[in-house]
A and B are shown apart, each in its own frame.
Chain A
Amino acid sequence: MECKIEVNHKTLKVQEGESLLSALRQHGFKIPTMCHMNRFSPTGACRLCVVEVEGKSDLITSCSFPVEAGMKVQTNSQRVIKARKSLVELLLSDHPDDCLYCQRNGHCELQWLAAEMNVKERKYFAGKQKDNPDYSSTSVARDPAKCVLCSRCVRICEEVQRVTAIDFISRGTRTKVNSAFHKGLNVSSCIHCGQCIQVCPTAALTDISHLEKVNAALGNKKKQVMFVISPAAIVSVTELIQSKSKNKVRARLTAALKRLGASKVFDSGTAADIHVMEEARQLAELIRSKDKKDLPLISSCCPSWIRYAEGFKPQLTQHIAKVKSPGHIAGSLIKLNYAREHDVAMEDIYTVSVTPCVAKKYEASWEENTHKGVSEVDAVLTVRELFLLLRSFGLNLEQIEEEEMDAPYNHSSAAAIKLGYSGGKAESVAQELFNIMGGSKKEAFRFMQPKSITSKRETKVKIGKTQVGFAWVSSIAEAEDYLNELGESKRDDIHYIEVMACLGGCAGGGGQPISRGFEQPKARKKISVEMEKKAAWQKASGNTMAADLFERFSFRQNEIWEDPF
């Protein structure tokens, strides 16, 4: 129901019962916030969104106050501005002064707030806090000294990822965000999804950077540095480039990396296609077998999900497809197959994976992904790190020549590109299943999308004689709820479940450029769909190189890893 309120002496029409903050923002009023996250209930922790409301003696936090008909609000009175500025000064009072050396210099929310409030002097000098940074994890670096206790990371880890690897410890000024007994993140229940990094306003949470390693490798004459770019990373880069160069991103990125000193720039699409074919093959096997106990088959390309399953739902690990993720198929293809075919020693190759995923850094450290001490993937760069790398070498993707990616791994089908968003993987696998189990050989294949956000992400497809059920969930909360429900209802009509730990799939990955709000995955999906239309083949098996490799070698992961080549 609509009602009228007065803001800064102007009358506005708003919806009764909605929060004052959202009403103000919809009408274009600028209200700073810190602890606020869209789609999460307000906590009223930071107090930055305070406004003056007639009849209330104190200032009111607009995030937690519902609109009331006839209320009179002032969003920028002297009192309000003074309060907001003081709050920012208080935040700065025990924040380190090392902006120039900080990873988030230039795009830090606290910096932005200080600039907005016109903070020009350090008013308070607090005692130095003894907070050692925690670099124990393979993926997420913590620097508690920069933490502003906004609670966003805690909430996303608890409410969206259902892990609670970190929480508030102690009380008052001694409050810290940490895991129990102040142990490092590497021994906590962290699943390395990196969603906390996405929501952190400062550099309290960042990637464990592989830039130094990569720089060292690039400078090492003995090493042949080979970049493997995932299609999802191409999508992310495309999103940030100006319109003219959008369809040239692959070529320009290749050129840029070659200028850096990369000896090869590959597309991980081939590996992704192989991965999809293997999962489809395993699915077909399970559907055809008499024993249905290992159904449904659950996707295996998300290392965060695998970590979650191992830690929290061990009974589900038998359902996970036995195949490496595309990144590691690519790594093993390069280090074992390519190396042998081109007579290069495995130790002389340095593979760098570029991906919007932070958990890949964790995956690269798994024992099954190393051979005699040599990792399949030597370094993983997130899209963020990629930009830092290019910038530090003075490379501008807007103004650079174009170069083709290197053979033999330089193509991907539309199926490989689809892996970058939630639902895409399931679709690709379904398409392949058509191939294997008969039925019409559809080239372009899209699932029926569910009608609303709340309806389940499931669909049934008739493949051959079987009605095969596919489901896709993103974020652990959705995954957990869905899997629990499936288990309780004892349904047997779902045969394949795609699980992505990040909301929206890799489009919302922990390694994506940081943006507030949750709108980016949609935008990235749109770009992805455009790219799929231009792909050389629609389904995974259409990729001739991938099909050939798939034919020659076995990519099934058994208990003991065997060199498939």
Chain B
Amino acid sequence: MSLDAKLENRQFLINKVLLDPRRDEDAGVRKSLSYISGERVHKALIYVGMATCGKVAGAKKTFLAIQNYLQDHDIDVTLVEGGCVGFCREEPLVDVQLPGKARISFGNVTSDKVQPLLDDILNNNLPEQKPLGQYQNPILQQWDGVPFMEEHVFFAGQQRLLMDNCGIIDPVSIESYIAKGGYWSFTDTISTKTPAQVCDIIDKSGLAGRGGGGYSAGKKWNAALSTVSDNKYLVCNAVESDPGSYMNRAIIESNPHRLIEAVLIAAYAIGAGKAYIFIREEFSLAISRLEKAISQAREMGIIGHHIFESGVNINVAVKKGARAFVCGEETALINSLEGKRAMPSSKPPYPAEKGLWDHPTIVNNVETLFNVPLILKNGSEWFHDTGTKRSKGTKIFTLSGKLKNYGTVEVPMGMTFRDILNDIGGGMAGEKDFKAIVLGINSGSYITEETLDIKVDFDELKSIGGALGSGAFVVLDSGVCMVDMAKYFTAFFKNESCGKCIPCREGTARMLEVMENVTRRPSDNQSFQTLERFKGVMQLKNLAGVISETSLCSLGKSSPYAILNTLKHFKKEFDAHIFERKCAANICTDLRIYHIDVDACTGCTACFKKCPVDAIIGSPRYPHFIVQDKCIGCGTCFDVCKFNAVLIK
């Protein structure tokens, strides 16, 4: 587009769209927006899903292959480095939109599949590769015999309020974002509502923190608004260090402008002139897209001084956080922003009264903020339409582990975990049985067979002694050892503890020692050690209460639950480890002692050849021997032996 055309476009978007509340009523405006947003195209559009999950799956190579193809064939097509629609199993995803025709999506398009795909589709023919689906739209011509994406089992159960633009729009096109309704909430809000009114709307909507805390966002904002101060700060918590969660990063990479809009509205609501987006420094793609989006918004006058003559001054900056899980705790985050060690501070005083540099500060999670422009646009009553009595709106989960359809999904509060697993998630992958779903690491919850029918709801999860967490959703099958999982989580907490308070610093270390004792390689003195292990586990139960009641922050408070919940739901596995020294799932490698039965062994050397660590010694036709010190307990020899000569003790 020429510079003049660009400026004209911009003026149109500002004057006719952002600043005109009756934008929707003009058919001409609507038509222009339809083209600017990408709903309709003048020329063909190819959209490659290139969020981090896509890149890991090879989307970069796919993109280059497409670029080369277009160059070689001298075809003029709009090629977009897109965001993530959430269906990570199908990455790399390529969408094609021909003028007048519905947008059609293809999955698993590795670079070798590019040529045959484009040969056909760019000539209006359905290629051999079966498409994933097409997007429903009455104003565009549908492809014959192609199912609708919206009816795909992965998408049918979702309610995509927050992720509506993800994987659809160009993340770094402010024009597309505005054309699709973006920033309308912000400009309408600052011209028609006072900060107090905004806080009130959010409070009435029942929006609760999505980072795991579940506190009322509106109440927090009101507290900050009512604290008198010259300087106030809005901080967006994009640390996301919970292993198993990556939805915040995915939605920032796919729709950074939504976050900026949310941050602006939130800053306005509490009276803050400065907003910081504190994001983990490893999220380089998210950071670069966010920074580009911020400069676009600034250029358009949406960020800065006297925004659209309203008298409102808000500045937004990205701050790259150094890596520590504890930075996700709001007071630790504030300390890190101030250039200190990320140690949490005592509350009271709460950040809303005394936060960043002792000024009123609100720290909100990314997903929580993504709800804000929608609530302001549609009203708090609208928000009540989705969800349960106590938990309004939707929740984004990142599905992973042993299920078929993994990716990022958005479900209404009130959906059962069973439905998420079996409908959206496509059910278990592989032949093993379902064992548990692990939610966010700070939630302390397992969903087991008995609780699969509970709903996604803050209160229901509280009733089973857990919490919703950040949105991680890792599915475990019977091949997973729960004692090992408990050890893994405890080790995680011990490693990430900041070390400030005694219960967490010492407590997590002591708990880990107990778990390591339980999974340690057995030696000769059996019974004395059994008693030790048992005693250790019992002591742990006592200690767990103290740790969770006295820890300074939620990291310490939730650290004992990994073990406690495993003890509660999977006591049999624990007992087997302690008393019988057996790991049923065969995961605890130290408890696996493989040895070769010399009578059964024929000396075929199959195990000798396959052992990945050369722990087996022997010559052809002589019985082989496993060197225990070298053995890692992987079980390969057990698998390959045709003579059942490899035994597990």
Considering the chains assembled together, what is the distance between the CA atoms of A42 and B494 in angstroms? 25
A58 and B550 form a contact (CB under 8 A):
yes
Q: How far is the CB of A117 from chain B (nearest CB, A)?
A: 12
One digit per residue, 1 when the CB lies within 8 angstroms of any chain A CB and 0 when it does not, for chain B 472-509 equals 00000000000000000000001111111111011111
User: Interface-forming stretch among B420-428, B541-549, B624-632?
Assistant: B541-549
Which of B506, B508, B552 touches A91 (beta carbons < 8 Å)? Answer: B506
A22 CB to nearest B CB, Å: 15
A412, chain B: closest CB distance, angstroms: 48
Q: Does B539 contact A (CB under 8 A)?
A: yes
The answer, yes or no, to whether A536 is at the interface (CB within 8 Å) is: no
Question: For the complex, is A79 an interface residue (Cβ under 8 Å from B)?
Answer: yes
CB atoms of B346 and A87 under 8 A apart: no
B595 at the interface (CB under 8 A from A): no
A44 close to B505 (CB less than 8 A)? no
| Interface check A520, CB cutoff 8 A | no
A79-B549 in contact (CB<8A): yes
Q: In whole Å, how far is B462's beta carbon from the nearest beta carbon of chain A?
A: 11
Chain B positions within 8 Å of A86 at CB level:
503, 542-543, 546
Task: Chain A residues near B341: list those with CB within 8 A.
Answer: 168, 171
Q: Is the CB of B550 within 8 A of A172?
A: no
Contact A47 B503 (CB under 8 A): yes
Max chain A Cβ within 10 angstroms of own Cβ: one of B348, B513, B542, B549: B549
Residues of A within 8 A of B552 (CB): 44-45, 47, 61
Asked whether, in the complex, the Cβ of B498 is within 8 Å of the Cβ of A171, the reply is yes
Q: A174 contacts which chain B residues (CB < 8 A)?
A: 499
- Is residue A463 contacting chain B, with contact meaning CB distance below 8 A? no
**B210 proximal to A (CB < 8 A):** no
Indicate if A295 sits at the interface (CB-CB under 8 A): no
In the complex, which residues of chain A have a beta carbon less than 8 angstroms from the beta carbon of B542? 82, 86
Q: Which residues of B contact A44 (CB under 8 A)?
A: 345-346, 501, 552
Interface range for A = 35 or more
A173:B497 contact, CB within 8 angstroms:
yes
A66 located at the interface, meaning its Cβ lies under 8 Å from any Cβ of chain B in the complex: yes
Q: Is B510 an interface residue (CB 8 A)?
A: yes
Cα–Cα distance between A495 and B114 once the two chains are bound (Å): 85
Q: Report A-chain residues with C-beta under 8 Å of the C-beta of B550.
A: 47, 50, 58-59, 83, 87
Q: Are A171 and B507 in contact (CB under 8 A)?
A: no
Q: Is the Cβ of A94 less than 8 Å from the Cβ of B506? A: yes
Q: How far is the CA of A61 from the CA of B551 in the complex (A)?
A: 10
- Verify if B557 is at the interface (C-beta below 8 Å from A): yes
Q: Which of A126, A149, A172, A175 contacts B496 (CB 8 A)?
A: A172
User: CB-nearest residue of chain B relative to A64?
Assistant: B346
Q: State whether the Cβ of A43 lies closer than 8 Å to any Cβ in chain B.
A: yes
Residues of A within 8 A of B286 (CB): none
- Say yes or no: is A561 at the interface (Cβ < 8 Å to chain B): no
The interface residues of chain B lying within 8 Å CB-to-CB of A13 are none
Tell whether A445 is near chain B: CB-to-CB under 8 Å. no
Given the complex, which residues of A lie within 8 Å of B500, measured CB to CB? 43, 45
**Cβ–Cβ contact A91 & B346, under 8 A:** no
Contact, CB under 8 Å: A42 / B546: no
Q: Cβ of B546: which chain A residues have Cβ within 8 Å of it? A: 82-83, 86-87
Is A65 an interface position by the 8 A CB rule? yes
Q: How many Å lie between the Cα of A173 and that of B499 in the bound state?
A: 6
The answer, yes or no, to whether A312 is at the interface (CB within 8 Å) is no
- B501, A42: Cβ atoms under 8 Å? no
Q: How far is the CB of B327 from chain A (nearest CB, A)?
A: 11
Q: Do A66 and B348 touch across chains, with their CB atoms under 8 A apart? A: yes
A46–B503 Cα gap in the complex (Å)? 8
CB nearest neighbor in B for A167: B341
B190 within 8 A of A: no
Chain A 115-143 interface mask (CB, 8 Å, partner B; 1/0)? 00000000110110000000000000000
From residue B547, how far is it (CB to closest CB) to chain A in Å? 8
Whether B166 sits at the interface, judged by CB under 8 Å, is no
Say yes or no: is B588 at the interface (Cβ < 8 Å to chain A): no
* One of B346, B498, B502 near A43 (C-beta < 8 A): B346
| In-complex Cβ contact of A64 among B348, B494, B496, B508 (8 A) | B348
Cβ of B374 within 8 Å of any chain A Cβ, yes or no, is no
Tell me whether A46 and B502 are in contact (CB under 8 A): yes
B539 and A123 contact, CB distance less than 8 A? yes
Does chain B have a CB within 8 A of A93? yes
Judged by a CB distance under 8 angstroms, whether A336 is at the interface is no
Enumerate chain A residues within 8 angstroms of B509, measured Cβ to Cβ. 94, 126, 172-173
Q: Does B178 contact A (CB under 8 A)?
A: no
Chain A neighbourhood of B496, CB < 8 A:
172
Find out whether the CB atom of A59 lies under 8 angstroms from the CB atom of B506: no
Q: Which residue of A lies closest to B532 (CB)?
A: A125
With both beta carbons as reference points, the residue of chain A lying nearest to B326 in the complex is identified as A171
B592 to nearest A CB, angstroms?
25
Pick from A43, A45, A90: contact of B510, CB below 8 A.
Answer: A90
Chain B CB within 10 A, most for which of A61, A83, A124, A126:
A124
Most buried by A among B503, B542, B546, B551: B546
B495 touches A42 (CB 8 A): no
Min CB distance, B570 to chain A, in Å?
25
Shortest A465–chain B CB gap in Å is 50
A65 touches B503 (CB 8 A): no
A172 near B501 (CB under 8 angstroms)?
Answer: no
Q: Which residue of B lies closest to A34 (CB)?
A: B502
Give the distance in Å from the alpha carbon of A94 to the alpha carbon of B507 in the complex.
11
Evaluate contact between B498 and A93: CB separation under 8 angstroms.
no
Inter-chain CA distance A170–B497, complex, in Å, is: 11
Candidates B505, B543, B551; contact of A173 at CB < 8 Å: B505
A170 to B546, CA, bound (A): 25
Tell me if B225 counts as interface (CB < 8 A to partner A).
no
Contact pick for A90, options B348, B499, B506, B548, CB 8 Å: B506
Bound CA span A50–B500, Å: 16
Known: A59-B549, A83-B549. A175 touches B499 (CB 8 A): yes
Question: B238 near A: Cβ within 8 Å?
Answer: no
Is the C-beta of B324 less than 8 angstroms from some C-beta in chain A? Answer: yes
Scoring A residues 350 to 361 as 1 if CB is less than 8 Å from chain B, else 0, what string do you get? Answer: 000000000000
Cβ of A45 and Cβ of B507 under 8 Å apart?
A: no
Complex Cα distance A126/B517, Å?
12
**Residue ID in chain B nearest A88 by CB atoms:** B502
Interface hits, A22-54 → B, CB 8 Å: 42-48, 50
Nearest B-chain residue to A48, judged by Cβ? B502
Q: A65 to chain B: which residues have CB within 8 Å?
A: 348
List residues 335-383 of chain A with CB under 8 A from any CB of chain B.
Answer: none
User: Which single residue of chain B is at the shortest CB-CB distance from A90?
Assistant: B506
> Beyond A86-B542, A86-B546, A93-B510, is A172–B348 a contact (Cβ under 8 Å)?
no
| CB pair B510 A124 closer than 8 Å | yes
Q: Is the CB of A47 within 8 A of B501?
A: yes
Determine how close the nearest CB of chain A comes to the CB of B350; give it in whole angstroms.
Answer: 12
Chain B positions 346-402 with a Cβ under 8 Å from a chain A Cβ: 346, 348
**Cβ A90 vs Cβ B503 within 8 A:** yes
**Is there an interface contact between B505 and A87, defined as CB atoms closer than 8 Å?**
no
Query: Whole-angstrom distance between the alpha carbons of A202 and B298 in the complex?
Result: 56
Residues of A within 8 A of B324 (CB): 171
Given known A87-B546, A87-B550, contact A173–B494 (CB-CB < 8 A): yes
Please name all residues of chain B whose beta carbon is closer than 8 Å to the beta carbon of A64 when the two chains form the complex. Answer: 346, 348
Q: Which residue of B lies closest to A148 (CB)?
A: B502
Task: Note all chain B residues with C-beta closer than 8 A to A61.
Answer: 346, 552
**With contacts A45-B500, A173-B506 known, what are 18 further pairs, Cβ within 8 A?**
A43-B346, A43-B500, A44-B345, A44-B501, A44-B552, A45-B552, A47-B551, A64-B346, A82-B542, A83-B546, A90-B510, A91-B502, A91-B506, A124-B513, A126-B513, A168-B499, A173-B508, A173-B509
- Chain A residues near B (Cβ < 8 Å): 42-48, 50, 58-59, 61, 64-66, 79, 82-83, 86-87, 90-91, 93-94, 123-124, 126-127, 149, 168, 170-175
Residue pairs across A and B with Cβ atoms less than 8 A apart, 22 shown, are A43-B345, A44-B552, A45-B502, A46-B501, A47-B501, A50-B549, A66-B348, A83-B546, A83-B549, A86-B542, A87-B550, A90-B543, A126-B510, A126-B513, A127-B513, A149-B499, A149-B505, A171-B498, A172-B509, A173-B494, A173-B506, A175-B505
The 7 closest A-B pairs by CB, nearest first: A44-B346, A64-B346, A175-B499, A90-B506, A86-B546, A172-B497, A172-B499
